[in-house]
Amino acid sequence: MEALFRLDILKKDDILGVIAIIFVLLLTASTLFFIIGLFKPGANLKELKARTNSWWVIVLIFLAVIFVDRRISFIGIAFLSFMAFRELYSILDFRDSDRRAVFWSYLSIPINYYLAYIGWYSAFIVFIPVWIFLFLPVRLIIKGDTKGIVKSIASLQWVTMLTIFCLSHTAFLLSLPELPGFSNGGRGLLLFLVFVTEINDVAQYIWGKILGKHKIIPKISPNKTWEGFIGGVITTTLIGYALGFLTPLPVPQLLFVSFMISVSGFFGDLVISAVKRDIGIKDTGNVIPGHGGILDRIDSLLYTAPVFFHLIYYFAY
């Protein structure tokens, strides 16, 4: 049992307290929406319910990652990268001649996550941004099909960076060494990242619904407003401050990191929204029935993960 599950996590009151808070918030939100639906059947709660349900999915996935053996955690997050890569690749217009190059992007997943698993930072930080970046165009030109090759090179490299390299920073958090006086470790950092990222998504939506009047980029996301963005940033920064015990950061750095999670999460959501609007689709997949694909649920995390990781690494490690 101890080989499969990280039972030592049960001794960390800080992490268990945050997990309890998360479940209380989710249960409260789900119950509240159910009661409102009974008394006001016409209330438009579809979007809020969808976001809450997707939050349930994400929280359960990453709580599983926190509790299971570290090796299984890496395999689980690597599988998320695989699913996200496949979804984004499938909705973009790649050529038949690109398939062998795509195979090498898939192959980079286990290699990249292995580098994260062993904590080899210098190799991890250059493997995809440098070596795979240089190799993919070479593999594409070997096929001899030059029509549309510029688009294929740019698209494949971007998809690989976003869904594999960026997301793998969540896994690397689990490989960060222990620090004196900081007992929560990588699992505390991962919990902080996921929770604050999702709180930011919900807070910006709620503030936008309550106060939103001035749209930011209506052609990409009509529901995004300056009021929602600012309200979400303030809320997320304060909640990040309250959860500071999950990180080794002093207050000024903690506030800055929480602020950056909020801003980067906002742009991550916008970027994927722009891609879907360009293609003319609502969701990137249907892995989660009624709630879209994996990419729809982790779009903000794809941006917040590398931003958070490198700020933590710079400030604390």
Tens-place pLDDT, residues 306-315: 999 999 999 9
Distance CA 253, CA 259 (A): 10
Q: How is residue 284 annotated by DSSP?
A: S
Q: Is the pLDDT of residue 264 over 50?
A: yes
Flag the least confident range among 62-66, 114-118, 182-186, 257-261: 62-66
35, exposed or middle or buried, with CB in 10 Å at 0-12, 13-18, 19+?
exposed
Q: How many residues does the chain have?
A: 317
Task: Read off the pTM.
Answer: 0.86
Q: Model confidence over 155-205: pLDDT tens digits?
A: 999 999 999 999 999 999 999 988 888 878 888 899 899 889 988 988 888
Structure tokens at 304: 């917040």
| Cα separation values, 22 from 60, 120, 126, 261, Å | 10, 32, 35, 18
Crossing angle between the packed helical segments 99-117 and 133-142, to the nearest 10 degrees:
160
218: which strand partners? none
Name the pLDDT band for 8 (thresholds 50, 70, 90). very low
Residue 312 is which amino acid?
I
**Distances in Å between the alpha carbon of 232 and those of 193, 299, 303?**
16, 17, 16
Q: Provide the 10 A C-beta neighbour count for residue 315.
A: 16
